[in-house]
Amino acid sequence: MYVYDEFDRTFLAERVAEFRDQVTRRLDGALNEDEFKPLRLMNGVYLQLHAYMLRVAIPYGTLSAHQLRRMAHVARVYDRGYGHFTTRQNIQFNWIKLDNLPDAMAELAEVGVHGIQTSGNCIRNVTTDQWAGAVPGEFDDPRIWAEILRQYSTLHPEFTYLPRKFKIAITAAGHDRAAIKVHDVGLRLHRNDVGELGFEVLVGGGLGRTPFVGKSIRPFLPARELLSYIEAIMRVYNQYGRRDNIYKARIKILVHEIGAEAFAEAVEAEWEAIRDGALHLSDEMIADIRSRFVYPAYEALEDEPAEFVAAMGDPRFATWFANSVHAHKVPGYSIVTISLKPVGAPPGDATADQMDTIADLADAYAFGEIRVGHEQNLCLPSVARRDLPELWRRLDAAGLATPNVNLVNDIIACPGLDYCALANARAIPVAQEIAKRFADLDKARGIGRLHINISGCINACGHHHVGHIGILGVEKNGQEFYQITLGGRADEQAQLGTLLGPAVSYDQVPGLVEDVVATYMELRATPQELFVDTVARLGVEPFKERVYAAH
């Protein structure tokens, strides 16, 4: 956990006071909605279909139990008793009244969280692997570098009004859980041939209306040069990015239009002029940030304690362990994923009571730390294996032990037309109905790893382009239709899905997905071949022929 200092606390308190005055002027009529809009967006406040929505950043997906408990309090007192975890490690409150927003923000600021730069054309919340610092084989803790970028980018005077929003993600493990190739800038932390720590830099990835997988523009950047190189990228984007057309303003369009090679040359030229300046990271600066992360006081524990061995005789515990528990870098500990996808529930939603329960469990079993992943699940990064049986029993009692992580009913979905002013179609009810079709967990386990991503509009907040099965809601003559793509993925082999065929109606989607999965079960080479690998091997045509013959 990063420890904030007095500067952070003072800054947030002053920002809340400033926003409180702006809200007062809006309520008094001194500001109209158009005048208020840029002020609220700077604090993460959107006006959605039914109410104002507050988006709160969770830097690099790391929360303390104290912070999560405060979020539960805000959900309970100011909202309708729940919060929604998003694909970019944020939490959204959908029903806070405008006159309550300053009080809610003040309560969140007391525990060091806020909505600043979760909206607007600026550098957004820097995201990373939810298992950072705990998973074996990392080259370094990527949160160190995410925090350096957070401090650099917060209220940066030159990059507050970029052509469009800007998203950065970092991974430091062999398997990419941060989806870096579909971000404006993706950073892959690794070591070169002589053991020096640095980054591969990818630019121009992104989803939305015009999706692209990011291009690598530098295979190795020494870590101490991170800020100067990012600054060079931002300067090139700020200077040459289009501002005349909102749909062509993202950096991915600039990289696509001039080519990755030309873009890289422009960045390198800019970098040469600033690389030895104030943004060069000294060993002392890096060490200072590193020292502010407090790590758990791990004990020397057995990997197979008696409590754990005995519990493995319970098939329900063994199933949950196989699905939801991952190896830890420290012997005797595990990483636990908590599914927020019980069958029939809106993906990513957590009630205030559930948040309180998870905070209590984090205090009891996980050094008071919780993580948020882009798959809209939560995680306890460090749990002693001796405590896993008791943790499971308490999670199960709270309805939080559904063993469906990475299975077909672990669906990623945006809020869609139920909440979002931009959406064309519903996403949550589609996810709920598909999850019900695969509610039999034995059947879901037989299908294996399969990611379904649903977006209610072309802005792709549900990351449908990179779902193994992607579902995009579109509007046709006032009715909801859905385009289906197959074969997308967001990991280190990231690629965009291929369109299956004509869009289908709302009522047809669950049955079509069932047919796609049934076709995969017939065509897979072995029971171990994953859905996405079968699609890569055969293409979408065999699926198209069978599915559209039935619909």
Q: Are 523 and 542 in contact (CB under 8 A)?
A: yes
Does residue 298 belong to any structural domain of this protein? no
Residues 277 and 248 in one domain: yes
Residues 288 and 155 in one domain: yes
Residues 42 and 17 in one domain: yes
Helices assigned H by DSSP within 4-99: 6-28, 33-41, 65-78
Residues 201 and 254 in one domain: yes
Residues 170 and 272 in one domain: yes
List the CATH number of the domain containing 354: 3.90.480.20
Does residue 146 belong to any structural domain of this protein? yes
Does residue 18 belong to any structural domain of this protein? yes
Nearest to 122 by CA among 157, 94, 90: 157
Q: Distance between CA 430 and CA 486 in Å, rounded?
A: 17
Nearest to 308 by CA among 324, 327, 321: 321
Number of domains present in the structure of the chain: 4
pLDDT at 4: 78
Nearest to 320 by CA among 303, 304, 339: 339
Q: Report angle CA 102, 105, 108 to the nearest 5 degrees.
A: 155
The arithmetic mean of pLDDT across residues 535-547, rounded, is 95
Does residue 133 belong to any structural domain of this protein? no
pLDDT at 547: 87
DSSP 480: E
pLDDT at 330: 97
Helices assigned H by DSSP within 292-408: 306-311, 315-324, 352-365, 388-397
Residues 161 and 275 in one domain: yes
Range of the domain at 341: 306-398
pLDDT at 5: 81
Residues 383 and 463 in one domain: no
Does residue 220 belong to any structural domain of this protein? yes
Does residue 83 belong to any structural domain of this protein? yes
pLDDT tens figures, 169-188:
999 999 999 999 999 999 99
What are the structure tokens assigned to 478, written together? 């006032």
Which are the contacts of 450, defined by CB distance < 8 A and separation ≥ 6?
A: 406, 407, 408, 468, 469, 517, 530, 531, 532
pLDDT at 1: 67
Q: Within 10 A of 119 (CB to CB), how many other CB atoms are there?
A: 20
Residues 539 and 420 in one domain: yes
Q: Are 397 and 434 in contact (CB under 8 A)?
A: no
Of all residues in the chain, what percent carry a pLDDT higher than 70? Answer: 99
Residues 439 and 525 in one domain: yes
Does residue 134 belong to any structural domain of this protein? no
Does residue 119 belong to any structural domain of this protein? no
List the CATH number of the domain containing 538: 3.30.413.10
Query: Which of 241, 269, 292 corresponds to the end of one domain?
Result: 292
pLDDT tens figures, 84-138:
999 999 999 999 999 999 999 999 999 999 999 999 999 999 999 999 999 999 9
Residues 382 and 434 in one domain: no
Name the packing angle between helices 226-240 and 260-274 (round to 10°). Answer: 120
Residues 51 and 169 in one domain: no
pLDDT tens figures, 373-407:
999 999 999 999 999 999 999 999 999 999 999 99
Residues 321 and 429 in one domain: no
pLDDT tens figures, 204-231:
999 999 999 999 999 999 999 999 999 9
Query: Which of 292, 324, 358 corresponds to the end of one domain?
Result: 292
Query: Which of 88, 110, 132 corresponds to the end of one domain?
Result: 110
Q: Distance between CA 412 and CA 94 in Å, rounded?
A: 18
Q: Distance between CA 443 and CA 421 in Å, rounded?
A: 36
